[in-house]
Structure 1
């Protein structure tokens, strides 16, 4: 708004121009400009670093090519697991947490409509009828109408409008639009969180199935070993202690195999909740197979700012706080209200709509706070502080996002290297068992050495299976850190969140 003072002769043209300027209004308060992220997030890095230096030239998990590719849409399909795909589709429809965030978004859209309504006049109609009789003992009063009866019927229409001279209403609309966009980003962030949790629990179940198979195979091997020691004991070749050791080894493995059912059931029940199903009637098929994670396109670091819904939400929160500053500044300026009242009023219904029964009044009113003991200035300072806090929160969100990506990249890469070494250890342990069993059968070594070899093999196999699961869940965490298949172009625009809600969107959920 210009501060230049122009001296003109008061005439009709000038008055009309001034009225037009007042009605069009101006916007007070700072214009919003998204602040740059922290310097670390602006570094022109070509690609994410894949892993610590000591692992860069070794075999193992690698990022997808080309380096600037991005995940799109249904990111979980990259794992090529039909059952996981089906569960994710159920989650997107039936998850109650996602429904809650969706309704929060609908509420935010409704608040935009409420704010927009303040741009327009309000009209109210209030028909009334009153029959009255005055007291018979009011002779000495100035308004005496002793014992008279009267009837008054009225049909008034009141219209009032407060022009948005200083942008208070428009800033309120912008604030609610930004809040609605923030709510939409929160919805996508919650959806991604739930989807990632489902994928994590799914691979945890696959890992439990793999462990179960290892233990089941070990039980069968230990049963055969027990039969061998019993046969040797019965023929006098072996001793009783070997039989007891074989029995103890078998019993321990059987106990471990039973215990695995606890964790599997808990993961299964957690998935049931995610897909909106009753845990008591939900089950996932047993499949003792854990694959290696597929190559994941991670893209450029600079693209991360456009791919994380939590970063988008944090940025929209800043925009909303900036609009609040504009609303607070508008309080320093006078407010103008244009009002008009008119209608019909008569003592009898017969003459209510006669021309002579009409009445009307019209006129503007201006109000301005002349003293508030610093309230308005303190309010502005409050919202400036809120905005500055939101800027710091935004930059922290960006830094945390980069940390999470780097953490997940390091986890997947290093776990893949560890798994290669662990699988080699499993092969060595298998050969250890084979050689030690042969030495026991020929009477060279006692059975306790066989037990030691079997324990070593089982431990190595369990470690390898656990590493497989960790590697898969780390890849899910990497995808989540990258924002899944979402990007900022999917965020609704201010115009879209301002659209009128459809009937289906306002239906009460049964």
Structure 2
């Protein structure tokens, strides 16, 4: 009994030699019970977040571009290589649990003098096997393996976050490209109408039916529309190059799928704020980094504790090669070692304090990531809601502009008004049409932002293979 009590007391004394780790800061994170904004026509349960959410747009070309990017994008290749690196680090940490076994062999020929001063030659042949194993009494190796495992899982989440970002970037670039295509088609169509109006105004001016002002105004409107064509073509050219780079190719043309008018935003996905904690890969990454920091802090703190090692060596030695092969002299040793620091000038405690400060940084980072996720989701929901309201007003404005143009055209044709009224009505309708296309594009892009904010798609992980 006395011996057992002494062993327990000794263990407690040794455990007290560990450095003092600061406590983890209390969390100030509070999860909201629901979202402030919700898009019209989509109550909070309309649709779940789909794994391959980009397919919800119904454009096979878009789906193909995203699939290609998830395989060939350069940033994803870098992220996959980092996952492989941390997988190897985890395997290295797991290997520390196993004993190390090695060998040492030598053949030595020596010329020396005997007691009479006469030289003589000696041969020594030796082979030795060594094995050593550290007993993890305090669980420090387990903590290091836990830290390596959490770091590996954090890198996997980083890969998922990169894949989600790439998929959303490809979808956004493609939808913006289709929006620019639609604007170019509208501008070219408008340019043809402006050319007809310019020719009509020129003929009427030449016969004296209208003034030179009307003809010059029609010519100015034609050039204004023509100016938009190369500008839109330049934007399309640059957008194609950017999209081609995203999918892992060289700058060049990009295939087209459905027209902008036939693309519809998918239903607004449902989800409570707490579900973001399980879906968003950046939150998972921050959580794993925090867990790895906790494990590393515990391992750093235990450096002051003594370590226990067992080592054994055995082999044979002889002075002739024949005896070495058939009957060498057996040599062996067995060692039990206990070692630990007596004085380090506060080095381990300083390392522990630094690890504790890093743990606090990661704890605060985790809270910031979660709050930012809530804000991004709120902003995306609010954007869809306001853009839908704006689209309603734009439709009403366009209808009014179309009717105004019809009346102005009839008044001009019947001689009750000048051509300037019709030109002004044409400008108003063109502006409304451009606004309609831009709003359609922005609603589609806002849907992509919402899927990105809600972590859609990352749990499927088709990009890891």
TM-score (norm 1): 0.83
Distance 2:302 2:117 in 1: 51
Q: 1:404 aligns with which of 361, 369, 376?
A: 376
In the TM superposition, what are the counterparts of 1:14-53 in structure 2 within 5 Å? 38-41=28-31, 43=32, 45=33, 47-51=34-38
Determine if contact 2:124/2:317 at 8 Å carries over to the other structure. yes
Residue equivalent to 2:230? 258
Distance 2:376 2:19 in 1: 36
The structural deviation recorded for 1:283 is 4.2
Distance 1:144 1:165 in 2: 57
Q: Cα distance 1:483–1:469, how it changes in 2: closer, same or farther (>3 A)?
A: same
The structural deviation recorded for 1:62 is 3.2
In the TM superposition, what are the counterparts of 1:130-149 in structure 2 within 5 Å? 130-134=108-112, 147-149=119-121
Residue equivalent to 1:420? 392
In the TM superposition, what are the counterparts of 1:207-226 in structure 2 within 5 Å? 207-226=179-198
The structural deviation recorded for 1:289 is 2.7
Distance 2:419 2:410 in 1: 11
Residue 347, structure 1, aligned to residue 347, structure 2: no
Determine if contact 1:205/1:264 at 8 Å carries over to the other structure. yes
Residue equivalent to 2:419? 447
Residue equivalent to 1:227? 199
Name the count of aligned residue pairs: 457
Distance 2:201 2:235 in 1: 34
The structural deviation recorded for 1:9 is 7.7
SS for the counterpart of 1:276 is coil
Determine if contact 1:112/1:177 at 8 Å carries over to the other structure. yes
Residue equivalent to 1:84? 62
The structural deviation recorded for 1:284 is 3.6
In the TM superposition, what are the counterparts of 1:482-497 in structure 2 within 5 Å? 482-487=454-459
Distance 1:419 1:292 in 2: 14
SS for the counterpart of 2:132 is strand
Q: Cα distance 1:94–1:34, how it changes in 2: closer, same or farther (>3 A)?
A: farther
Q: Cα distance 1:368–1:65, how it changes in 2: closer, same or farther (>3 A)?
A: closer
Residue 66, structure 1, aligned to residue 45, structure 2: yes
Distance 2:412 2:4 in 1: 118
Distance 2:369 2:116 in 1: 76
Unaligned ranges ≥5, structure 2:
none
The structural deviation recorded for 1:318 is 0.8
Q: 1:8 aligns with which of 3, 27, 30?
A: 3
Q: Cα distance 1:219–1:288, how it changes in 2: closer, same or farther (>3 A)?
A: farther
Q: 2:97 aligns with which of 116, 119, 129?
A: 119
Distance 2:225 2:314 in 1: 91
Distance 1:361 1:342 in 2: 6
SS for the counterpart of 1:364 is strand
TM-score (norm 2): 0.90
Residue 319, structure 1, aligned to residue 309, structure 2: no
Q: CA RMSD in A?
A: 3.0
Unaligned ranges ≥5, structure 1:
1-5, 52-59, 492-503, 506-510
The structural deviation recorded for 1:61 is 3.7
Distance 1:145 1:244 in 2: 123
SS for the counterpart of 1:215 is helix
Distance 1:279 1:305 in 2: 37
Determine if contact 1:210/1:290 at 8 Å carries over to the other structure. no
SS for the counterpart of 1:360 is strand
The structural deviation recorded for 1:366 is 1.5
Residue equivalent to 2:150? 178
The structural deviation recorded for 1:399 is 0.7
Residue equivalent to 1:436? 408
Residue 159, structure 1, aligned to residue 131, structure 2: yes
Determine if contact 2:59/2:258 at 8 Å carries over to the other structure. no
